[in-house]
Amino acid sequence: MRQPLIAGNWKMNKTATEGQALARAIREGLQTQTVEVVLCPPFTAIPAVHAVLQGSSIRLGAQNVHWEDAGAFTGEISPVMLKEWCQYVIIGHSERRQYFHEDDEMIRRKVLAALRHGLIPILCVGETLAQREAGETGTVVATQTRRALEGLSPEQAAGLVIAYEPVWAIGTGRAATGADAEEVIQRWVRGTLEELFGPEVARRVRVLYGGSVTPENIAEFVCRPTIDGALVGGASLKAETFLGIIHETARAKA
Ligand code: 13P
């Protein structure tokens, strides 16, 4: 059984003070233990949010990580630094691929670095609108998944979280349909996992949908057995909408 997971990617939003208030409101409003909840604040808010979450079941994640443990990499944050605070780290988000030119090889090294230090990667994959319109969704998602995970052992792979985030659905208010997300996840994400690591790993990895998720549309995704939850952007910035998504997920998966 895979535990449902709802992760909030705050992106470049919330000061430490604002993040603390948001995390406190989420902690106080949380009414389920069946859904695992992960908050991914910007680096500068991580210690403050960590303090608010002490003693709760809510987990912390970072939004990026470097592949080396230490050294002359100005502006970067290493997995050794993160593991004092976080259990999870988002790797390969499309905004990092697009604006910061992260490629599959960098993403592969980041996944390995995270695992080396006991951080759980939330690996993001997804096609652009042009790729979708060219009929390339399947090959893009399969290739991104394969290249990020090459060299992992089946045991390492089984602990991963993968988020399928079609780029055209991110921040646009235009979510994928549940049927579309289900098809891509089952056939191209889990299918690639099965090719690489076998059916047991393909069944054990948690796979999320991301892209314009709201309390109103979350059930459409999580009612499908292959979709274990969501990676939420905009709607994770308000306690009310984020809690709505969590509670709808608990209901749908019950
Ligand atoms: P939105 O929920 O704002 O579309 O963002 C999705 C996302 O990119 C989460 O990582």
Q: Pick the atom of ligand 1 nearest to 93's CA.
A: 10
Question: What residues act catalytically?
Answer: 93, 165
What's the pLDDT at 57? 97
Helix (H) or strand (E) holding 38: strand 36-40
With CA atoms as reference, report the closest residue to 217 among 184, 179, 167, 187: 179
Measure the CA–CA gap between 163 and 229, rounded to whole angstroms: 9
Average pLDDT, the chain: 98
CB 218 within 8 A of CB 252: yes
Give the mutation target among 6, 9, 218 for probing the ligand 1 site: most ligand atoms within 8 A of CB: 9
Residue 95 is predicted with a pLDDT of 98
pLDDT tens per residue, range 128-183? 999 999 999 999 999 999 999 999 999 999 999 999 999 999 999 999 999 999 99
- Residue-level pLDDT at 209: 98
**Could you give the domains of the chain?**
5-253 (3.20.20.70)
Q: For residue 172, give both structure tokens.
A: 């646009």
Ligand 1 centroid from CA 83, angstroms:
24
How far does the centroid of ligand 1 lie from the alpha carbon of residue 230, in Å? 9
Residues whose beta carbon lies within 6 Å of some atom of ligand 1: 9, 93, 165, 170-171, 210-213, 231-235
Ligand 1 pocket, mutate which of 98, 217, 221, 232 (most atoms under 8 A from CB):
232
* Mean pLDDT of the 207-212 span: 98
* CA 106 to each of CA 18, 91, 205, 251: distance values in angstroms, whole numbers, following the listed order: 32, 10, 22, 38
- Dump pLDDT digits (tens) for 6-15: 999 999 999 9
Which atom of ligand 1 approaches the CA of 231 most closely? 9
Rounded Cα gap, residues 82 and 234, in angstroms: 24
Tokens 């991914």 identify what position?
Answer: 40
Confidence of residue 195 (pLDDT cuts 50, 70, 90): very high
Compute the distance between CA of residue 74 and CA of residue 216 in angstroms, rounded to an integer.
42
What number does the ligand 1 atom closest to the CA of 170 have? 4
Pick the atom of ligand 1 nearest to 124's CA.
Answer: 10
| Distance, CA of 160 to CA of 31 (rounded, Å) | 26
How many A from CA of 246 to the centre of ligand 1?
15
pLDDT > 90? residue 1: no
